[in-house]
Amino acid sequence: MSGRHIVLTGMMGSGKTAVGERLARSLDLPFHDADSLLEAEAGRRITDLFASEGEAYFRALERQIITRLLAEAPGVIATGGGAFVDPENRARLTASSTVVCLLADPETLCDRVRATPDRPLLQGPDPLERLRMLLHVRLPAYAEAHHLLDTSDRTPDEVAEILRRLLAPREPLARRTVRVALGERSYDVLIGSGLMEEAGARLRALGPMGRVAIVTDGNIGPLYGARLEAALRAEGYEATRITVPAGEVSKNLEEAARLYEAFLEARLDRDGAILALGGGVVGDLAGYAAATFLRGIACVQVPTTLLAQVDSSIGGKVGVNLPRGKNLVGAFQQPRLVLVDVACLRSLPLRQVRAGLAEVVKYGVIADAELFAWLEGHVEPLLAVDEEVLAEAVAASCRIKARVVEADEKERGERAVLNFGHTVGHAIEAATGYGRYLHGEAVGLGMLVAAHLSVRLGLCSPALPERLGRLLGHLGLPTRASLCIEDIDSSMSYDKKVKHDINYFVLTKDIGAVTVTRVLDRNALREALALVVGQSAE
């Protein structure tokens, strides 16, 4: 990045000024706050400029300030929230600078700006809704920044340190390839940075020649949809983007039916393909629709969350939820390709990164003691979204899942070990309405229940759940919940591993070794539940 400005853009409240000051100090560069300079030169506050002269006048002054700053010696520049949305500013900034867009969810942004309510673009009775609208309008422009980084749940010092590492000269990230060997259904999981731009060429090499549909959600589509569309169109594909609501609420039969209608409108046929761009919900929903539309159409998974990259995008299990339980309707259909672009992980809120790491911990417990120990020694860089460390974690997880899927594609035996923590985890999600806990958080709690149950059944040492709980805690994942055991027990009765009304659990013998066994001792199960997820209602 030598000789180039570093420009921080993003919504009000994303932390541009606080992060910019810290980043500039750490890099020994001058710091410029464009809004402060504008107010000093105009002799008036931005609020007054908006009120007396209007937004167009303010934007013209802003453009002048940015043009002058770019002509000065390299430094760190914090722009106003709308500066990068202006096409002229955006073209100049991306050409002459390294642009980082700082992201955060609307609720976080609103909390941060409450202390400074004098914001002309937030005037009105509902500033949170106004922030949501502004973010929705601006995200496509913000997506053109060179780097995206979510600041939710991160301090300015933590964000500045992540950026310092990100912008430091380094060797390009080495790409990894994991092969899922399933005969004629074999495919590769490609892991690297910047892979999304290769999607069109990769798809062309696989053979689909017809129209393609990109299924994404309202959070991910604005950030990466245009990039994926451009990569496909560069190879001559006619691409249609279909957006579903973000979150578990979309993973149902009604939304699948809506996708079928959208595929028909886009005139997809069996020579085409469906690309799932998003997290586990999008991957499961789009994969299920691909498995059933026209009795099966090619699907490429482009996972953007850590949880999807290490788990749900691989193995061909796709499906939707019913009100009584998760993934009760589904299919086994392998993707043709999985493109894992770890650069996407920087745009995730820290909470989602942590939730994804729960699945990586799962792989260590079920199959790889060395991976578990490695995770214990790499907590800090993992949470700092270090690409090299994350790529290694993703690759290690994918290699384990590939081995298990190759041995048991349809989950008739060995593949059940991948459900470690999921029996209770799915029950927690269902019992709390799929809204209180992220999937990885619920699975982490489920793993602890399974570990405590293993101790009570004499399968492992009490030291195992203690060690597991420490790692989950260091990763910032919940290790205790306050829920009604009866609700969890009722939800578990709909688990796919229930046979003849008996729950089968994946239980631990040691770190790296598990077993699938039926649990007849209901008292031991309730004791384990009480230690982690709450007390009985009795």
Assign residue 433 the CATH number of its domain. Answer: 1.20.1090.10
Q: Which residues of the chain have pLDDT under 70?
A: 1-3, 115-124, 493-502, 535-538
Given the DSSP bridges, would you call strands 273-278 and 176-180 parallel, antiparallel or unpaired? unpaired
Chain centroid to Cα 80, Å, comes to 27
- DSSP for 165-189, written as a single string: HHHS--PPPPPEEEEE--GGG-EEE
CB 460 within 8 A of CB 365: no
How far, in Å, CA of 49 to CA of 46, rounded?
Answer: 5
Q: Is 161 left (phi over 0), alpha (psi -120 to 50) or beta?
A: alpha
Q: State the residue for tokens 């790889």.
A: 368
pTM to 2 decimal places: 0.91
Q: What is the pLDDT of residue 1?
A: 45
Is residue 387 within 8 Å of residue 165, measured between CB atoms? no
List, in order, residues 6 or more apart from 534 with CB less than 8 Å away.
481, 482, 483, 484, 485, 488
Please check whether residue 266 lies inside any domain of the structure: yes
Residues 484 and 442 in one domain: yes
Please indicate, yes or no, whether residues 199 and 284 belong to a single structural domain of this protein.
Answer: yes
Q: Has residue 363 been placed in a domain?
A: no
395 lies in the same domain as 424:
no
Last residue of a domain, one of 121, 149, 167: 167
- Angle, vertex CA 55, rays to CA 52 and CA 58, nearest 5: 85
How many residues are present in the chain?
A: 538
The conformation of residue 417, written as its DSSP 8-state character, comes to: G
User: What distances in angstroms separate CA 174 from CA 171, 397, 470, 531, one per listed residue?
Assistant: 8, 17, 31, 43
H or E stretch at 505: strand 504-510
10 and 121 belong to one structural domain: yes
Q: Which domain holds residue 451?
A: 420-533
- Output the domain CATH number for residue 72: 3.40.50.300
DSSP state letter for 405: H
Asked, for residue 495, whether it belongs to a domain, the answer is yes
| pLDDT tens digits for range 407-427 | 999 888 888 899 999 999 989
Contacts for 241-244 with beta carbons within 8 Å, 24 or more apart?
241/213, 241/214, 241/216, 242/213, 242/214, 242/215, 242/216, 242/266, 243/216, 243/217, 243/218, 244/215, 244/216, 244/217, 244/218, 244/282, 244/285
**Are 199 and 258 contained in the same domain?**
yes
Give yes or no: residues 65 and 185 share one domain. no
Same domain, 72 and 191: no
For the chain, the farthest-separated pair of C-alpha atoms sits apart, in whole angstroms, at 77
- Domain boundary residue, one of 134, 167, 200: 167
Tell me the CA distances in angstroms from 153 to 149, 366, 489, one per residue in order: 12, 30, 33
Q: Are 445 and 424 in contact (CB under 8 A)?
A: yes
Question: Are residue 151 and residue 228 in the same domain, yes or no?
Answer: no
Side chain identity at residue 85, one-letter code:
V
Q: Phi and psi (nearest 5°) for 244?
A: -110, 160
Residue 143 falls inside a structural domain: yes
In a domain, residue 108? The reply is yes
Look at residue 274 and tell me if it is in a domain: yes
Query: Alpha-carbon distance 24 to 165, whole Å?
Result: 13
Tens of pLDDT along 425-464? 989 988 888 789 999 999 999 999 999 999 999 999 999 9
DSSP assignment of 298-359: EEEEEE-SHHIIIIITSSSEEEEEETTEEEEEEEE---SEEEEEGGGGGGS-HHHHHHHHHH
| Residue 13 near residue 109 (C-beta atoms within 8 A) | yes
Residues 341 and 472 both lie in one domain: no
**Is residue 360 assigned to a domain?**
no
What is the tally of structural domains in the chain? 3
The alpha-helical segments, DSSP class H, found in 181-269 are 199-206, 226-233, 253-265
- pLDDT on residue 107: 92
Q: Computed from CA positions of residues 134, 140, 250, 180, in that sequence, does the dihedral angle turn out positive or negative?
A: negative
3-state secondary structure of 216: strand
Catalytically annotated residues? 295, 317, 359, 401, 411, 415, 419, 422, 426, 439
Q: In this structure, are 140 and 198 located in the same domain?
A: no
Q: Are residues 222 and 120 in the same domain?
A: no
| Strand-pair category, 176-180 with 187-192 | antiparallel
* Residue partners of 531: CB distance under 8 A and separation at least 6: 448, 449, 452
Cβ-contact 387, 468 below 8 angstroms? no
pLDDT at residue 301, rounded to an integer: 98
User: Which CATH number belongs to the domain containing residue 259 in this structure?
Assistant: 3.40.50.1970
pLDDT, position 500 = 39
Within-domain flag for 225? yes
